Structure 1
Amino acid sequence: MNRNWIYVLAAGLLEIGWVSGLKHAHDAFTWILTGAAILLSFWVLLMATSRLPVGTVYAVFTGIGTAGTVLTETIVFGEPISWLKIVFILILLGGVIGLKITTKEPEEPAKGGNS
Structure 2
Amino acid sequence: MKKEWWLLLLAGALEVVWVSGLKHSTAWWHWAITAASIIFSFKVFIDVAAKLPLGTVYVLFTGLGTAGTVIAEIVLFGEPVKPLKLLFIATMAAGVLGLKLVTKDADVEAERTEGGA
Q: Which runs of 5+ in 1 are unaligned?
A: none
CA distance in 2, matches of 1:28, 1:8: 28
Alignment equivalent of 1:107, drawn from 82, 91, 111 = 111
Q: Which amino acid aligns with 1:12?
A: G
Aligned to 1:7: 7
* Moved beyond 2 Å, runs of 4+: 106-110
Question: TM-score, normalization: structure 2?
Answer: 0.89
Aligned to 1:92: 92
CA distance in 2, matches of 1:7, 1:49: 11
Aligned to 1:33: 33
CA shift for structure 1 position 107: 2.7
Aligned to 1:50: 50
Q: Which amino acid aligns with 2:111?
A: E
Question: Which of the two has greater helix per residue?
Answer: 2
Q: State the identity %.
A: 47
CA distance in 2, matches of 1:40, 1:32: 12
The Cα RMSD (Å) is 1.6
Q: Which amino acid aligns with 1:62?
A: T
Residue 86 of structure 2 is aligned to residue 82 of structure 1: no
Secondary structure of the corresponding residue to residue 77 of structure 2: coil
Secondary structure of the corresponding residue to residue 76 of structure 1: helix
